[in-house]
Amino acid sequence: MNQDACDAGEFSPDAAWAVVCDGMGGAPAGDIAAKTAVNVISTRIRDAFRPDMSLNSAKNLLTTAITAADILIYDDANENVDYRGMGTTIVACMILNDMVVCAFAGDSRAYILHDDTFEMITHDHSLVQEKIDAGLLSEDDAAKDPDRNLITRALGVTETINIDFSERDFKKGDRLILCTDGLTNFVSEDTIAQMLRRDDIEVIPDELIRHANEAGGRDNITAVVIVK
């Protein structure tokens, strides 16, 4: 079962958005949680977008959209015994002119490629990341840690969700990727950066997914690429 879900769109050459979720909680709950989050967040972004929207307004929009999704998933999980414990990661971005604002919770990620600089603009909310931040685990050992799939934040698990944000410049020629851990657990950041530099941008997501499958592909794999 595919428990990933995603959506993306373009309002104009200077305004776009994307949402990626990775559901959890067993079949079919994780699937339901991810699809619900993507549908709620995507609908609110499309309905509330304005051409003159500021970055702060976009941040507020992402906050209200993600919060609404969290409440709906939480309520569904409490009302239906088959959905108990379901939840989903979230990474959502809005691009306005030469800036991007990203909201995230869980271990789905966003990266930006700018010239020769490839930067992760999210921070994993996971047990392994907490060990790394505390100096208890190296980056190399993290990939082999038995707790690497345990996340510390997810939509729908509690009545409230703590959302983190990042803001970056997003200039002409820059490239943005949103992805689930089904990609990053099997494809190195160096390979992702190399793939993002390709000229045939339409094939980048499929090629990244192919690399992840060839490396083991033991999870659902989602990649959304936006090129300025």
Q: pLDDT class for 142, splitting at 50, 70, 90?
A: confident
Per-residue model confidence as pLDDT tens digits over 110-119: 999 998 899 9
Break the chain down into helix, strand, coil percent, rounded to 5.
Answer: 35, 30, 35
Q: Closest Cα to residue 177, out of 163, 202, 196, 199?
A: 196
Q: Which domains does the chain have, with CATH numbers?
A: 4-227 (3.60.40.10)
- Cα–Cα dist 218/51, whole Å: 41
User: Which has the minimum average pLDDT: 67-81, 90-104, 133-147, 149-163?
Assistant: 133-147
Q: What pLDDT was estimated at residue 11?
A: 96
Residue 153 pLDDT > 90, yes or no? yes
| Mean pLDDT value of segment 90-101 | 97
Per-residue model confidence as pLDDT tens digits over 56-81: 999 999 999 999 999 999 999 999 99
Per-residue model confidence as pLDDT tens digits over 165-187: 999 999 999 999 999 999 999 99
Q: What pLDDT was estimated at residue 27?
A: 64
Name the CA radius of gyration of the chain, rounded.
17
In this structure, the dihedral spanned by the alpha carbons of residues 69, 73, 75 and 76, taken in order and rounded to 10 degrees, is 140
